[in-house]
Amino acid sequence: MFEFAFKSFQEAIYMNGHGVYVWSVVIILIFCLVCAFSYYKIKLKEYKKKLDETY
C-alpha cells in the first residue's frame, strides 16, 4: 500500500503528462489555504491592537 508509485522523482513530477494538472491544482489549493490563514491572522492582530488602544 505504501509503495512509491513512480520510478523516479522526475517521473513523479511529470506523471505521464498529467503532472501539470495535478501539481497546478496542488499549488492553487495550498496557495488559497495559506492566503486565507494569513489574511485572518493579520486581521485578527489588527483588531486586537485596535481594542488594546481603546482600553
Which residue from 7, 8, 10, 51 is in contact with another protein, where contact means CB under 8 A? 51
Restricted to residues 4-43, the positions that interact with another protein (CB under 8 A) are: 4-6, 12, 15-19, 21-22, 24-26, 28-29, 32-33, 36-37, 40-41, 43
Concatenating the DSSP letter of every residue in the chain gives: ----SSSSHHHHHHGGGTHHHHHHHHHHHHHHHHHHHHHHHHHHHHHHHHHHHH-
- Those residues with Cβ within 8 angstroms of residue 12's Cβ, 6 or more apart along the chain or in another chain: 4, 5, 6, 19
- At closest approach, how far in Å is the CB of 53 from another protein? 10
**Which residues form the interface with another protein (CB under 8 A)?**
1-6, 12, 15-19, 21-22, 24-26, 28-29, 32-33, 36-37, 40-41, 43-44, 47-48, 50-52, 54-55
